[in-house]
Amino acid sequence: MNSIELQNVSKYFKVNGRRLKVVDGVSFRLEQGRSLALIGPSGCGKSTILSMTAGFFPPDEGRISVSGSLGLCLQDDKLLPWRTVLKNACLPGEIKGAEALAEAKEKASAYLPLFGLDGFEDSYPAQLSGGMRQRAALLRTLIAGGDFMLLDEPFARLDALTKEDLHRLLLRVMERFSPGMLLITHDIEEALEIADEICLLSPRPARVVERLTTPKGEGMPFDPLKHAALKQHMRDVLLAHKTPV
Ligand SMILES: Nc1ncnc2c1ncn2[C@@H]1O[C@H](COP(=O)(O)OP(=O)(O)OP(=O)(O)O)[C@@H](O)[C@H]1O
Ligand SMILES: [Mg+2]
C-alpha cells in the first residue's frame, strides 16, 4: 500500500537574518485511497508542509517517506502562459508519451464541461479569470492522475456553487481512481465534506493540535447534528490557538 508519512518534521526559514521556525514537529500518515485535510490559519506553514512532501526542499528535522507517484496543484496555479487550457491540461500526458497524451485528451474533453471550461480549451491563461485558471490547474492535476494528489487550496478563488460542483467531482475521482489526497484548506465545511481525516494546525510554527476522523472517513451517513457539533468543535480548537490580531 502506497503511503505518505511525515515523522516529527520541522522547518526553519531565514528571515531578516533570523531563523524563523515555520513547521514544528509535524507527524501524520496518509495511505493511498484516503484523504487528509490540513486546516490552519494563514501563514502557519501549510504550503511549506506540502512543498516538503512534494520534495521541493528537505525538512531541517524529521523524516518524510513517500511511496507512490504525486500529482500537484499548487496555490499559485503555475499554468504555462504560452500554452492553451487544453495544452496545459494535457502537458503531464504529453511528457509521458503518445499513448498517455491521447488518454489525457480524452479525459480532458470529458472533464472540460464539468469544470466550466467548455469552449475555453483554446484560450491562453491570460485570457481567463482567476477562478478559471484555478479550475484549469485542478483539471491538469486530475488528468495527470498519480497515486496521490497534493492540493493547496484548490478551491479558494471559486464561487460557492462552482466549489460544490468541484467537491462532487473530486469525490467521484476519489471513488473511481482511489488516489490518496492531501488537501490544504481554510474551509472547515469543505474538509468535512471531502476528507476522511483532518489535522488542525496551530498558527506558525505549524503544529498538529488535533487529528480527527470525519464521519465520512468512518463510513457513517450524514448526520446534521453531528456535522454541526464537529464544525463547532473544530472552530473552537482553531480559535483557542489563534493569536490575537
Ligand atoms: N521560501 C521562503 N523563505 C522564507 N520564508 C518563507 C518561505 N516560504 C514561506 N516562508 C514563510 O513561512 C511561513 C509559512 O508560509 P506558508 O506559505 O507555508 O504558509 P501557509 O500556511 O501556506 O499560508 P496561507 O494560508 O496564507 O497560504 C510564512 O511566515 C512565510 O513568510
Ligand atoms: Mg499556503
> Is the pLDDT reported for residue 243 higher than 80?
no
- Distant-in-sequence, close-in-space partners of 98: CB < 8 Å, separation ≥ 6: none
> Is the pLDDT reported for residue 159 higher than 80?
yes
Average pLDDT of the residues in 135-144: 87
Q: What pLDDT band is residue 161 in, cutting at 50, 70 and 90?
A: confident
For strand 3-15 and strand 18-31, is the pairing parallel, antiparallel, or unpaired? antiparallel
Residues 199/231, Cβ–Cβ less than 8 Å:
no
Structure-model confidence comparison of residues 190 and 131, the more confident one = 190
Q: Convert 31-52 to b/e letters by CB count within 10 Å (16 or more is b).
A: ebbbbbbbbbbeebbbbbbbbb
Structure-model confidence comparison of residues 6 and 162, the more confident one = 6
Residue nearest to atom 28 of ligand 1 (CA): 43
How far from chain centre, in Å, is Cα 242? 23
Note the pLDDT tens digit of each residue in 52-85.
999 999 999 999 999 999 988 887 777 899 999 9
Whole-prediction pTM value?
Answer: 0.91
Note the pLDDT tens digit of each residue in 190-220.
999 999 999 999 999 999 999 999 999 999 9
What secondary structure letter does DSSP report for 178?
-
How far from chain centre, in Å, is Cα 120? 24
Structure-model confidence comparison of residues 183 and 243, the more confident one = 183
Q: What pLDDT band is residue 166 in, cutting at 50, 70 and 90?
A: confident
Residues 214/197, Cβ–Cβ less than 8 Å:
yes
Q: Report how far ligand 1's centroid is from the alpha carbon of 100 (Å).
A: 35
Q: Which residues surround ligand 2, an ion (CB under 5 A)?
A: 47, 75
Ligand nearest to the CA of 41: 1
Pocket test for ligand 1, best of 22, 49, 153, 185 (most atoms within 8 A of CB): 22
Q: Is the C-alpha dihedral spanning 43, 211, 1, 191 positive or negative? A: negative
Residue with cell 463510513: 219
Residues 71/150, Cβ–Cβ less than 8 Å:
yes
- From its phi and psi, is residue 4 left (phi > 0), alpha (psi between -120 and 50) or beta? beta
Pocket, ligand 1, Cβ cutoff 6 A: 13, 15, 22, 40, 42-48, 75, 204
* Residue 80: predicted pLDDT: 93
Pocket test for ligand 1, best of 47, 50, 74, 151 (most atoms within 8 A of CB): 47
Q: Report how far ligand 2's centroid is from the alpha carbon of 43 (Å).
A: 7
Q: What pLDDT band is residue 111 in, cutting at 50, 70 and 90?
A: confident
Q: What pLDDT band is residue 10 in, cutting at 50, 70 and 90?
A: very high
* Length of the chain, in residues: 245
Residue nearest to atom 18 of ligand 1 (CA): 45
Average pLDDT of the residues in 94-114: 88
